[in-house]
Amino acid sequence: MTGRTALVTGGGQNTSYPGVGYAICRVLARHGARVAVLDRNAEAAERTVKLIAEDGGEAISVIADVTDDRACASAVAEVVDRLGALDTVVNNVAAGDRSGLFDTTPEHYDRLMDINLKSAWSITRHAVPVLPRGSSIVNISSVGARRRGPGLVYCVAKAAMENMTEGAATTLGPQGIRVNCVAVGAIYGAFAAKGPMTQEMREQRREGTSLKTEGTSWDIAHAALFLLSDRARWISGHIMPVEGGPPHRYSTEPITSVPLGE
């Protein structure tokens, strides 16, 4: 990522456990990118910038509410003005709860859609005019988009984000801009760490993966790094689940029980 300028939404660190946006900022900076840490919380954004600087990396904080389209336009302009370019975008900011599809208010529904979907649309549409050929965009979604877990409004927004990813890849492909998506599994990240999650719950989530291991924000960050890098130069419109392998929903038989040749 050396020589690249990256904008990461929701990149601030405001919890004791690393969030996905924070981890992506740190990983991109460690691989040579100049990082614009966008967050509505100035203290959280500055904390990420400070830690990147301590690593020897380069970063700036950009303060904006990404649910405001004009704020998104200003944020993109600020990045280009201060860093001189923009060629990498990560739409990470998200918010969710356990709201059912029809047991929430219209205001709360709109708020979740604005944070989880409209923000990515706004940042992308304002970034496209300044993105050069060879640029890359990664949207951060959730495996809940296809499995419809708890928090159905959130899942609906993420399903729309994945559809938007594929549409944007088709639209922007002729301009040489790649668009992909990382679908986050049941990691132990900032949301889980600050929620009422017991050790037993963590163990159940770990056992629900094929690899029987617990994922973290750093696993998501390294997946995003790959999709943003030139190593993924011929990948666009892809939804990459990062979840420790699909859960065993159909059979508990070990694969070694299948006779060779069948």
Say whether 188 is catalytic.
no
Q: Tell me which residue of 196, 38, 166, 120 sits closest to 128, measured CA to CA.
A: 120
| Non-local CB neighbours of 80 within 8 Å, separated by 6+ positions | 86, 130
Helices (H), the chain: 20-30, 42-54, 69-83, 106-113, 119-127, 144-147, 152-172, 190-194, 199-207, 217-228
Q: Quote the tokens at residue 117.
A: 């979907």
- Determine which one of 17, 22, 154, 188 is catalytic: 154
Identify the sign of the CA torsion 117, 234, 27, 62. Answer: negative
| Phi and psi torsions of 167, nearest 5° | -65, -40
- For the annotated catalytic residues, the residue numbers are 154
